[in-house]
Structure 1
Amino acid sequence: MALSISIYFLLIFLSHFPSSHAEPFIGVNYGQVADNLPPPSETVKLLQSTSIQKVRLYGADPAIIKALAGTGVGIVIGAANGDVPSLASDPNAATQWINSNVLPFYPASKIMLITVGNEILMSNDPNLVNQLLPAMQNVQKALEAVSLGGKIKVSTVNSMTVLGSSDPPSSGSFAAGYQTGLKGILQFLSDTGSPFAINPYPFFAYQSDPRPETLAFCLFEPNAGRVDSKTGIKYTNMFDAQVDAVHSALKSMGFEKVEIVVAETGWASRGDANEVGASVDNAKAYNGNLIAHLRSMVGTPLMPGKPVDTYIFALYDENLKPGPSSERAFGLFKTDLSMVYDVGLAKSSSSSQVRY
């Protein structure tokens, strides 16, 4: 009897530590701005060979959603910025969106979150900004009408420029120009238990401050650290500093209990001659050490003990993306399904391969 009780408590203890094959906090962005992507069925096989447990889509591609059915992989789908005006003005449009993009697939396909728009607050389009919250509300009501309210969350994705202050992290606050629009959105997220989605990129922070000590700070490599002058907390990596700045901004608005989700973060493996830091070695170091950091379950200084759900950008290089060369070089995998570099995500590989 005593032995069985001991085994019971051992199982309870072990259940609190995720295996490397089931890490619900590690996701990946599956972008499709390319003309050479493998078919969804092959991509699903690739995902199943890794410990990636969540996939974020920028739209709601039915072939991909259907291919993920029965895999247990969590799915984030997106309503495009161009859909926001109709979703905001017509509840029937939201109903039709759910009828087309969710109901044919759920629950076999594990849709968890719908992102309404991408970086809309930073679009400088006041009409679109004003339509964002009504669009989110109508999508929420459409989910509730089919008894999916609470089972599938609704949010929107923001870039780090939504912050007016981020250094030190404890002084994090939203830019004055966004606070009015954000207040209603944050209240919505709080009321529905939905996350605040943000896109922190230490890669871009390093490009604006290309010193060796900044690179080490961005890559989770040994460095002197940076002390928050208000709290005395020493930060040893940029990711934690950026996420905690967002937490502080939420707290300053009275919404510190709203969960943060990192909708995008990553590092380019190549770039143009003037794009400092874009290399395979740096990309491998950033993503590999980020994954090790998440696996450590240490959390961030202001949110200890729990890894932030993080979607790495991106699954594949996307050869049709506009802009500098780096925009087409964020993939963890090549479109022939081979690794660009190994960050220990394969189920057969060990996380001990990763420096941290």
Structure 2
Amino acid sequence: MAFLPDASLFILLNILIGINIARSEPFIGINYGNLGDNLPSPEDTVKLLQSTSIQKIRLYSPDIPMIKALANSGIDIVVGTQNSEIPALASDPNAAKTWINTNVLPFYPASNIFLIMVGNEISLDENFRKQLLPAMQNMQNALDAGSLGGKIKVSTVHSMSVLSHSDPPSSGEFQTWLVDVMKGFLGFNNATGSPFVINPYPYYAYNSDPRPGYLAYCLFQVNAGRVDPNNNIKYMNMFDA
């Protein structure tokens, strides 16, 4: 599963394509950033989304009016916690229970929250890194206590910078100094069936690669594709790679 970063403007600036790991079901969704002027109301936004093929939406924080507006809309919801909430969520199981009781239980299942993201791109932050996994575990325990453990997953969103290499795909590996930490996150994902989530930054990849035809490769347009020389797998777009 992958999400593009929020540009802090309007929701349609950020289109994402992801894979629901549990159901192996491709989908199109958007990141909803509500920092801007003259934004449509939550109700109008939902109507706009329903007029498209968008099936999922990511909220960077518990936007209650939007969560309410999405009730019975057929659009699945990812809800994130603020990074500043992580120390409390990590140290106090009751803080996690309060978060779930406030932001999830009153609206589920009419508002189909299917994934909770604990923080955004903080696995590289030394001040938060050690607290992230305990916070995720406490959130999972809170969901279990509310009989939602098998229905709503918990994960976090990583920066692409957790990878020391990513091109070609077969050479992908985590930063050496992050390996032990990432093992903990991946162990949690594996044990709970939750997705590993990362923010790709297509523009920066495109800007640093002068090879011809790369723009079409980035934009899902017709192109010759690229072959990974280590395994001969051919990728037809950068997202797939």
TM band (smaller chain): 0.7 to 0.9
State the match for 1:279 in structure 2.
Answer: none
| Cα distance change of structure 1 residues 46 and 221 upon mapping to structure 2, 3 Å threshold | closer
Tell me the secondary structure at the aligned position of residue 185 of structure 1.
Answer: helix
State the match for 2:209 in structure 1.
Answer: 209
* Paired residues of 1:150 and 1:193 also in contact (CA < 8 A): no
What CA distance in whole angstroms lies between the structure 1 residues aligned with 2:110 and 2:210? Answer: 46
CA RMSD, aligned part only? Answer: 1.5
State the match for 1:88 in structure 2.
Answer: 90
Normalising by the residue count of structure 1, what TM-score does the alignment of the two structures yield?
A: 0.59
Tell me the secondary structure at the aligned position of residue 123 of structure 2.
Answer: helix
* Alignment: residue pair count: 217
Structure 2: state its 5+ residue gaps: 1-24
State the match for 1:166 in structure 2.
Answer: 166
Tell me the secondary structure at the aligned position of residue 195 of structure 1.
Answer: coil
Q: Supply the AA of the counterpart residue of 1:68.
A: L
String of CA shifts for 1:189-234, please: whole Å, max 9, x gaps: 1000000011123222111124442222222333343221111122
Q: How does 1:1-356 map to 2 (within 5 A)?
A: 25-122=27-124, 125-241=125-241
Q: Which runs of 4+ in 1 moved over 6 A?
A: none
Larger Rg: 1
Tell me the secondary structure at the aligned position of residue 155 of structure 1.
Answer: strand
How much identity, in percent, do the aligned residues show?
67
Q: Supply the AA of the counterpart residue of 1:146.
A: G
> Which structure is richer in relative contact order (CA contacts within 8 A, separation 6 or more)?
1
CA-CA distance at 1:147 after TM superposition: 0.4
String of CA shifts for 1:28-81, please: whole Å, max 9, x gaps: 111111132111011111111112111110001110001111112100000110
What CA distance in whole angstroms lies between the structure 2 residues aligned with 1:164 and 1:94? Answer: 33
Normalising by the residue count of structure 2, what TM-score does the alignment of the two structures yield?
A: 0.86
String of CA shifts for 1:85-113, please: whole Å, max 9, x gaps: 00000001001000110011011110000
String of CA shifts for 1:137-177, please: whole Å, max 9, x gaps: 00000000010002000000012111111122112111112
* Paired residues of 1:24 and 1:53 also in contact (CA < 8 A): no
State the match for 1:336 in structure 2.
Answer: none
Structure 1: state its 5+ residue gaps: 1-22, 242-356
What CA distance in whole angstroms lies between the structure 2 residues aligned with 1:204 and 1:84? Answer: 29
